Amino acid sequence: MSLVKLRSGFEWLLEVITMFLVVALTVVVLLGVSFRYAGNSLGWYDEVAAVMLAWVTYYGAALAALKRAHISVPGFVYSRPRAVRMALVVLGEAITITFFVLLAIYGVHVIGVLGGSTLVSVPIPVALTQSTIPIGAALFVIAELLNLPDILREAWDGRKPPSEQDIVEEMQ
């Protein structure tokens, strides 16, 4: 399987998961608001919605990483000579990947500490709700690794990332 097909399949998976979570979060919030308006508040919706928002954030961040949509400073990086540019890109990627590997490791540790706890309003294990930390971090690392060949090639060639090219073209 080629890297392009793998990346495309991973992107599709993240898009489906993220869209499902956004729709589910919308339904939960609309139910909560509707029931509250009717005078019969749901005691669980705000806690569940908060957990779902965290899930949307982690999965969405991984999707944004795959699409290379996070904030960066390519104008600064790509204006440097090749050796400096490569060093900056490698250092930036190493820091990012290391951070998310550590986040995944400590996320697993947090799940272990939480053990048999459940949410206050519903009997859902907190370990399940917090599993998004290591899973989201691992997905972010996978996204970064899938993009790494293109990032290094662009840095070597001195080509700006496609996202910056799009901005320049739209401004013209």
Question: First CA to last CA across the chain, in angstroms?
Answer: 39
Model pLDDT, residue 60: 96
Dihedral angle, C-alpha 94, 152, 82, 70, nearest 10 °: -70
Among the listed ranges 8-17, 86-95, 115-124, which one has the minimum average pLDDT value?
115-124
How many secondary structure helices (H) and strands (E) does the chain include?
A: 7, 0
Most confident by average pLDDT, 24-28, 80-84, 121-125? 24-28
Phi, psi dihedrals of residue 81, rounded to the nearest 5°: -60, 160
pLDDT band, residue 171 (cuts 50/70/90):
very low
Model pLDDT, residue 170: 52
User: Domain extents for the chain?
Assistant: 1-161
Write down the pTM of the prediction.
0.86
pLDDT band, residue 162 (cuts 50/70/90):
low
Spatial contact of 121 and 47, defined as CB atoms under 8 Å apart = yes
Q: Chain centroid to CA 77: how far?
A: 23
> What is residue 118's three-state secondary structure?
strand
Tens of pLDDT, residues 38-50: 998 888 888 999 9
Spatial contact of 32 and 46, defined as CB atoms under 8 Å apart = yes
Phi, psi dihedrals of residue 125, rounded to the nearest 5°: -60, 135
For the chain, what is the mean pLDDT? 89
Tens of pLDDT, residues 91-150: 999 999 999 999 999 999 999 888 788 888 899 899 989 999 999 999 999 999 999 999
